Structure 1
Amino acid sequence: MNHSIRKLAATAVLAAAGAAFASGAWAAEFVAKIGHLESTQQSRHVHLEKVAELVAERTDGAVEFQIFPQGQLGQQREMTEGVQLGTLEATVAPAAFLGGFNPAISILDIPFLLPEDEEKAQALRAGAFGQALCDSFDTRGVECLMLWPNGRKNFTSSKPIAGMEDFSGQKFRVMDSNILIEQFNALGASAIALPFGELYTSLQTGVVDGQENPLDTIRAMKFYEVQDHLVLSNHGAMEDVILFNTAFWNGLPENYQTIIVDAFREVIPDLIAHKQAAVAASLEEIKAAGVTVHELSPEEKAAFREAMYPATRAAYVERAGAEGEELIALYEQEYAKLSE
């Protein structure tokens, strides 16, 4: 290699090193890969990126979050197990996907669990109940930082469902959860556990009459093409759980832990607003498709909750045992305070 070529090669190496240093690639003391299932446009990913920026800024680049969306690191079960085993530093997981890993979290399947008012709902997440729910992951070998809101479910059907009595005799698709099955049994309906990928065809062919999902999911999956009726019930909490590998978390300096927790909590109002904007746009598209929409009044929601709560509560306690008994008692105590 002649002198000029060696000089060019050396210059290129120095330039690459400078770029890497400037980007923080070599500056981070702690690097956390964080996997999740949503697309880059959805609320979870957008706000994970915001958290990553805040953490990098407030630790002077010492902590770097690398976000991997859309199941790039595996399905949720694989990511959760990766966090437990230490092959992945963190995941932000839908609570509904964690019931097999931690039965206590299935309390979030109970309909109308969270207050309708977002401030009260956040008070429940951030208070003694949310903390106890997070603490239930300690015995499962992972560190739960907090619950993160990700919208609420609504009912759709090919048949009228404006009143509670309309649900009787109808068949609804649910995720594989005894609590969700009991939710529909309490209304005189039947529930069939089906994979999400089969739902559109099952609605189209009449295998099931209806389903429950957030409005942005209903829009994205075009369920409104095969459903004529929508009830704006906001009955099901779609909560995310922020899970870190315990060894990684415990290896962080305490001030970095505080910065991370504060960053996740700080973006929650923007996260809720982002989700609500997506929901509002989805509702307009669903209405434009000619779907009949009925919004439950506060009185109707109270009646639905009264009808469904006892059976779903019992199904949860049966699943989660003594741990579930303690959590549900704490929940009811905290919920009563917020309702005063």
Structure 2
Amino acid sequence: MLTNKTIISNCLKLTAVSGVLAAVSLPAQAEQWRGWNIHPPSYPNSVALESFAEEVAEKTEGRIEPKVYHNGVLGAQPDAIEQTRSGALNFANFNMGPMGPIVPATNILSLPFIFNSTEDMYRIMDGEIGGRFAEALAEKNLVALSWFGSGARSLYNTDHP
């Protein structure tokens, strides 16, 4: 004969087992990553970031779902740097200019004619010197995955303002 105590006990056991089975059978939620980029989607750096996001999703078998936010929609570069440092953003593509207040040594990278060529820049930044910059950035909670050139887009002369 079933008593109220037995019925309640069996119901509690059934509820507990059902809860465990439901939790085990639920698919794991993918971790959402947010990426920042100042450029429009067709810009070469943007294309590279999209490729990075696709590779992260592929290599993690969908456990991480990165999304790149273009055109600086998540904030200006200095704000995005701070968001990245705090973990609000997971990845980004930054120019070294605004890094100066955080890592003053990076200011040298904004000097004109600091490198003789693009090849020279990559040789130096992929070597020991770039490693030192990466270490300094890491101390400020920023991880440098790679270096890129922004291109020659500034002109300098001694004759005209």
TM-score clears 0.5 = yes
CA positional deviation for 1:106: 0.7
| 1:140 Cα deviation from its structure 2 partner | 1.7
Q: Using the alignment, how far apart are the partners of 1:57 and 1:125 within structure 2?
A: 28
Percent identity for Structure 1 against Structure 2: 23
The answer for the alignment partner of 2:83 in structure 1 is: 82
Return the alpha-carbon distance in structure 1 between the equivalents of residues 61 and 87 of structure 2. 25
Superposition misfits of 4+ residues, deviation over 3 angstroms:
none
Q: Which has the higher helix share?
A: 1
* Matches for 1:44-59 after TM superposition, within 5 Å: 44-59=45-60
Report which of the two structures shows the higher radius of gyration computed on alpha carbons.
2
The aligned runs of 1:1-340 (5 Å cut-off) are 28=30, 30-116=31-117, 118-155=118-155, 167-168=158-159, 170-171=160-161
Give the structure-2-normalised TM-score: 0.73
Q: Which has the higher strand share?
A: 1
Following superposition, the deviation at residue 51 of structure 1 comes to 1.2
Between the two proteins, the alignment pairs up a number of residues equal to 135
CA distance in 2 between counterparts of 1:63 and 1:135 reads 26
Structure 2: segments with no counterpart, 5+ residues: 1-26
User: Once the 2 structures are TM-superposed, how far is the Cα of residue 101 of structure 1 from its aligned partner?
Assistant: 2.1
Please state how far the C-alpha of 1:93 moved relative to its aligned partner. 1.2
TM-score by length of 1: 0.37
CA offset digits 1:4-36 (Å, max 9, x no partner): xxxxxxxxxxxxxxxxx9xxxx663x4321112
Contiguous gaps of at least 5 residues in structure 1 = 1-20, 162-166, 172-340
Shift of 1:76: 1.0
Q: Aligned with 1:34: secondary structure?
A: strand
Secondary structure of the 1:151 match is: coil
RMSD over equivalenced CA pairs, Å:
2.2
Structure with more relative contact order (C-alpha pairs < 8 Å, separation 6 or more): 1
Paired residue secondary structure (1:64): strand
